[in-house]
Amino acid sequence: MGLIQKTVNWARLKSPWVLHFNTGACNACDIEIIAALTPRYDLERFGVVLKGTPRHADVLLCSGPVTKQIKCRLQRIYDQMPEPKFVVAVGTCSCSGGVFDGCYNVESGIDQAIPVSAYIPGCPASPKAIIDGVVKLLSSLETK
């Protein structure tokens, strides 16, 4: 690994910018994601900042089973993110469809639409689990 590549990698690991996208969730995982960013859990101490646009984001935090209406939007948002990009599926619904698996309007999980790097189960995934998942994702990138 060259010096420049090393520096870029270091910078990326110290400031992963995330985009939160609700793909048909019940809001529970979404408020837990926000709760993870607020003072009690404070995900920002790992350099994680919530961004408003996919073009600024390194990590896409998805919650919810993918509804049929949102599927092409999700793929579009994924395409808009710059490389390298990572997707984290937050909550049981986004991992496997969860309680909504088998409903006529949902796919069973994010990985039906886009490739996923990390799965965080839980209904809803607690802020602690979200932090753990994000940290695990980041430490797995360190070795690459």
Which helix (H) or strand (E) covers residue 74, if one does?
Answer: helix 71-80
Helix H segments across the chain? 3-14, 28-37, 71-80, 92-96, 127-142
Neighbouring-strand partners of residue 62: 21, 89
Q: Which residues bind another protein (CB under 8 A)?
A: 20-32, 34-35, 38-40, 52-54, 64-65, 67, 69-70, 73, 77, 99-100, 102-106, 123-124, 126
Nearer to another protein, 7 or 27 (CB): 27
> How far is the C-alpha of 130 from the C-alpha of 144, rounded, in Å?
22
**Shortest distance, position 51 Cβ to another protein, whole Å:** 8
**Shortest distance, position 132 Cβ to another protein, whole Å:** 15
**Shortest distance, position 123 Cβ to another protein, whole Å:** 6
Nearer to another protein, 7 or 53 (CB): 53
Nearer to another protein, 2 or 39 (CB): 39
Asked if 58 and 86 count as a contact pair (C-beta separation under 8 A), the reply is yes
Nearer to another protein, 113 or 138 (CB): 113
